[in-house]
Structure 1
Amino acid sequence: MNPSQAGPLLERMAAFPQWEIKPFVQPAEGDLTYPIWFAGTWTMTSTLVNLVAPLAPDFVTPGFDSNRQYLNQPITCQIRFVKASSLPNEFSTFPLNLPLKALNQDPIVADRAFNGFNLARAYLGDRAVVSVEVDPATPNRQITTFRAGRQLVSVVTGRAIEKVGSNRFITTELFQQIFRGTPQPYMNQVETTTDYHLLPSREGAIVADQVTAIYLSPQDPQYFKATDKPVALYRYRLEFLPVKSK
């Protein structure tokens, strides 16, 4: 993409919080691949800088008000991005979102189990999260197990990417989430759109602007009040500092 032209994801981030529809995505096949400058282990600091309930007061999602406690409170954990070949062999049978000319390369992907576990524990506490597992058949299905037998099953259903120059990378993924282990299983849809910037002047640090949008599932009795409009928006400031090997 020509750096001087704004793609739909860049325009979407600029339009926050006036998000009226979901982003246009392609079906999720294989894993999301990242530029080579993501490779390695990072100390990530995530700070919630804004939260919006677009349909309030008519509709506010469960947990929205309690999430205000995280506003402007930095949360830090380690995450990593690795060569796809270093993950379980089962993933190798699934295509990655790469052009044909790059298929002979070893692409960089997120270690979803490692990252999900560390981030969940950073937000909820060490004792609250039992495990985060990625389905051995596909990197797009992740299961988070909490104490008391509760589970969150998250399935990536669609994604899109934009590359702006050599130091900027924008992604969006749509998830279907199911919360199990409660008297009434709860289902919703989640979008995570992230605008990453490499900062060569800061020894390869990365900063990012990230928005998580919550949508009602068609199975929700309130769905037709919202349709494809988000019912909650959370905006984060992310900073990645490389962990130097000893």
Structure 2
Amino acid sequence: MKAICSFCLIVLFMLGWARSADAGELSEHLTNFPQWEKLTSVQPASGDLAYPEWMAGTWKVTSTLVDLAAPLAPDIVTPGFESNRQQLNLPVSFIVRFIKQKPSATVGLKFIPQINNFLPILVADRAFNSLNLAKAYLGEQAVLSVKVDPESPNRQITLLRGERQLVSIVTARATESISEHKYITAEVFQQLFKGGSRPYLNSVESITAYHKLPTNNPTIEADQVTAVYLSPQDPDYFQAGSRPVALYRYRLEFFSVELSPHPEE
């Protein structure tokens, strides 16, 4: 269960759509770590997120937990939080890719002009990325498959051995365009783990700031903060209010393993 909780925190940049946030709110949110309240500028999730062209292709991503906090401890601490301290400064690597796809109900970044012309756009290969991510954190034998809802890129199911599954549903997002080489995404999603003694549900908010570097080693870096909030079903829900019960900060590094983007789908 603790391993599942750790993995739940990392299903971040693999999923869909976002609308522009109020100027500076996402940047300010990152700066204020670990003093967080729930985001106010996110909008209901629909369609798919268009990534900038400099993220095209296949990447080896190295994710490192660099900080964590439990703002409401010792009164409220989430499952697995203390064990996650052992992951501090330990890099985890996995392969992801971003592919061309025909847009549908897509709102992308302002500096990607082809979106308005309904030309193919760059999106995350969600099933491929999430499967590799799950195997990196849970082990090759623990993960059976990842399925993305064909009717919505905002819902996916990770099937695990032992008739267990993790259901992730993205409910809201926002983006903040900084420049042609910097942008920030915010995602809010519900996570339901089935297969244990009882289902475990929580709400997760994640902000990721991507930056294209002038070097190739790595080519892209990202600062990512994930906040865990209690679900209304939790007995401590009203005590926690709008405050997160756990915060995790990651450094992501993207190393190219392919010279050209994945073929259009």
User: What is the TM-score with the length of structure 2 in the denominator?
Assistant: 0.84
Give CA-to-partner distance per residue, 1:61-85, whole Å, 9 cap, x none. Answer: 0011111121100001110111124
Q: Which amino acid aligns with 1:50?
A: D
For 1:29 and 1:183, locate their aligned partners in 2 and report how far apart those are by CA, in whole Å: 33
Gaps of 5+ in 1: 86-91
Q: Which residue of 1 aligns with 2:257?
A: 243
- SS state at 2:242 partner: coil
Q: Which residue of 2 aligns with 1:190?
A: 204
Aligned partners of 2:201 and 2:231 also within 8 Å: yes
For 2:98 and 2:177, locate their aligned partners in 1 and report how far apart those are by CA, in whole Å: 18
Gaps of 5+ in 2: 1-21, 261-265
> Paired residue for 1:181, among 162, 182, 195?
195
Q: Which residue of 2 aligns with 1:96?
A: 106
Aligned partners of 1:22 and 1:229 also within 8 Å: no
Give CA-to-partner distance per residue, 1:166-221, whole Å, 9 cap, x none. Answer: 11010011001111112311111011110000013337700000011111111222
| 1:1-246 matched pairs, under 5 angstroms | 7-85=24-102, 94-98=104-108, 102-202=116-216, 205-245=219-259
Q: Which amino acid aligns with 1:182?
A: G
Post-superposition offset of 1:33: 1.6
For 1:208 and 1:9, locate their aligned partners in 2 and report how far apart those are by CA, in whole Å: 14
Post-superposition offset of 1:228: 1.6
Post-superposition offset of 1:133: 1.0
Q: Which residue of 2 aligns with 1:89?
A: none
Q: Which residue of 2 aligns with 1:88?
A: none
Post-superposition offset of 1:222: 1.3
For 1:245 and 1:201, locate their aligned partners in 2 and report how far apart those are by CA, in whole Å: 15
For 2:218 and 2:140, locate their aligned partners in 1 and report how far apart those are by CA, in whole Å: 30
Number of aligned positions between the proteins: 235
User: What is the TM-score with the length of structure 1 in the denominator?
Assistant: 0.90
For 1:128 and 1:191, locate their aligned partners in 2 and report how far apart those are by CA, in whole Å: 25
Aligned partners of 2:23 and 2:176 also within 8 Å: no
Percent identity of paired positions between Structure 1 and Structure 2: 57
